Structure 1
């Protein structure tokens, strides 16, 4: 199945993971998108990539202009998109571009909307927010399927704000941000680091939360005997006054740069805990998301730390592992009282969770592509975690 995939950032590692899933599920994607880097990749996971130009974090006006220009010029992709059997758009801005391309290029095929975050602009009561929701609602009326990465996005936004399931008839699909493991499980969970202070916390992925950086650097400066912090990923520098200076000034805090999927076992195996707290859009998107890091840390043996009152904390509680704090003021007390025996128990609870909670395989990829194509879900045989028997999974 040829598939046109419109994305907001060709260089986003999560886009690469999704393209790998689409290919493993039987699709032949061509990827069109903007980029947040100086140069654009020529291909993504073996799929051809088309650069639509550069956009920037926190510059919504520029992105809106770039989106409009891409939509208006979408007819030039007619030959590239010919034969596509479905069009998928990741984020709202790309939904507008994808819908324009679908119509301009004469593609009488389904449109699929993939939403991984709810921007605060979509939740206001002013004219701009209402206009944005109206645009999204109008585009969603032309789509057959809505893909989300957290059930809270449906419960807190798409159902009450956009009428999904009531006035807006669109199918929905939950696809969590799990670690992609094709060809069977890869590296085993790493042996736990030697338990005892200083306790090492890893903050991985999209580094965009100013409050989290303040919490971690202040505690590291106050208690170098108690905590060390390792930061890996891509900082959103627009969210911080001076990210590099703040990290450099805090003893025991290190920023170690970007990483690839191949680095996950090493970077999570190097820490005791994974920081899965986000305040960037506190009470809104930060309360609803399920970040990559909870799946990565669970898969590779770092105990996640989250807030108990948000979706991340509820996800951990339902599976019976992780540290759930009522607030950041509890972090120092928790670590101060933590014993090697108590940490071993936390790690034991993590190890008891099936790997399928953290990782996706070929069967998951096929189900995703079937849903995107509008095909009925097929039951599959999956081997259990021990490999001893197979069970039927819907």
Structure 2
């Protein structure tokens, strides 16, 4: 059985749990090691007994650098006694550094996989810090046998543009993981709201975009109750002045807390008409390039997506003639987007999404096996471990 050492930056990230499940469903044995966000519990991974590499904090770049350095020094002791991995996966740049360190500890013959699902804004500038980080990524990436990423725009607009990593690419889109068939989309929202009820927009997942929050608040106030917004997931409180207070003060916004992924997806998306698939967190950069989880989750269960036209998400939907595409992030543009909205036009939009091939939105057991088979076929890159080898 293929043994995968999976090094992650946040053990509480629901996407980590999904990737672990995917690897296990494909036939791999997984050893999980990573950092803990101090205020967030690890959910659904307790059976793996994850190796704790220490605490880290969201948005604290300097603290994370120190945490990585400490983890590099202690990694030999932390990994002592585990079976030698056949493959080492480093999720995000800091974990790629530790993957290189682990490779040296395990006699330098386990292939490294670099899993990169976001391009941090610090990597994209032209100042000394950004250039140093890109150089670091290039050096660490020389040992990578495979780059796993979730959007072709990451490859096209970052890795190829900056000539970062010369490795084969595995495109693993953020599809809904369904291993046992899954639940079909509910039909209670097929024909729109009943008279007197509002249209509902669901904004689910990683809630980190202050601009989206303010735009949706202003829009729902303009519409005077004809639209409401339901928020679910994990707010990045470091990105908001007072997330809870702001939402509580808005008459047409409500926050319903966290949910389980994928278990709760049919329910939470079945309760809304539209899915907010917009993120201005790193506008023009990462946010324009990603294909977010909520795109696949919402469409899988029939919620009509709302996306910016000039983003990778917008292009994805435009190619398929799906969803609502916004030309600019303004209340006026949002109001214009819905000016022709009727139960009939909504039903037609929803039916088009539900008619799309299931494989567009869903990852199943065959996909899991294909991933593990590809990992099993990797061979190590024979270059010196020039970073962190002596740590």
TM (norm. structure 1) is 0.91
Q: Do the aligned residues in 2 keep the contact of 1:19 with 1:47 (CA within 8 Å)?
A: no
Q: Is the 8 A contact 1:16 1:44 kept in 2?
A: yes
Residue equivalent to 2:239? 239
Distance across 1 between alignment mates of 2:256 and 2:339? 26
What is the CA-CA distance between 1:333 and the residue it aligns to?
2.1
User: Hey, what does 2:382 align to over in structure 1?
Assistant: none
Q: Please name the residue that 2:228 is paired with.
A: 228
Instruction: Say if 1:309 and 1:326, in contact at 8 Å, map to a contact too.
Output: yes
Q: Report the equivalent of 1:180.
A: 177
Equivalent of residue 341 in structure 1, options 327, 341, 344? 344
Instruction: Return the offset for 1:337.
Output: 2.9
Q: Secondary structure of 1:173's partner?
A: strand
**Structure 1 residue ranges without an equivalent (≥5):** 377-394
- Tell me how far apart the structure 1 counterparts of residues 265 and 224 of structure 2 sit (CA, whole Å): 26
Check the 8 A contact 1:77/1:101 in 2, yes or no: no
CA change 1:317–1:101 in 2 (3 A) is same
Q: CA RMSD in A?
A: 1.7
1:328 to partner: Cα distance = 2.6
2:383 is matched with none
What CA deviation, in whole Å up to 9, does each residue of 1:247-287 have, x standing for no partner? 11111210001100211111101100000011010000000
In the alignment, structure 1 residue 361 sits paired with structure 2 residue 357: no
Offset, 1:39: 6.3
The alpha-carbon distance between structure 1 residues 3 and 175, as it changes in their structure 2 partners (threshold 3 A), is same
Q: Deviations over 1:165-223 (max 9, x none)?
A: xxxx311110001000002x211111142514621000000000010000111112232
Q: Is the 8 A contact 1:11 1:37 kept in 2?
A: no
Q: Structure 1, residues 136-156: CA drift from partner, whole Å, max 9, x if none?
A: 000100111000000000000
CA distance in 2, matches of 1:365, 1:46: 20
Q: 4+ residue runs of structure 1 moved beyond 4 angstroms?
A: none
Aligned residue for 2:319? 318
**How does 1:101-116 map onto structure 2 within 5 Å?**
101-116=102-117
SS at the partner of 2:49? Answer: strand
Separation in 1, partners of 2:371, 2:172:
8
Q: 1:243 to 1:78 in 2, by over 3 A?
A: closer
Q: 367-376 vs 213-222, which deviates more?
A: 367-376
Which residue number in structure 1 is paired with residue 389 of structure 2?
A: none
C-alpha contact (below 8 Å) 1:217/1:246 kept by paired residues: no
Deviation (angstroms), 1:45: 7.1
TM-score by length of 2: 0.91
User: In the alignment, does 2:185 pair up with 1:189?
Assistant: yes
Q: Which residue number corresponds to residue 382 of structure 1? A: none
Q: How does 1:290-305 map to 2 (within 5 A)?
A: 290-305=291-306
- Going from structure 1 to structure 2, the CA distance change for 1:339 and 1:39 (only over 3 Å counts) comes to closer
The residue that corresponds to 1:71 in the other structure is 72
Q: Is the 8 A contact 2:111 2:378 kept in 1?
A: no
Aligned-residue offset at 1:107: 4.6
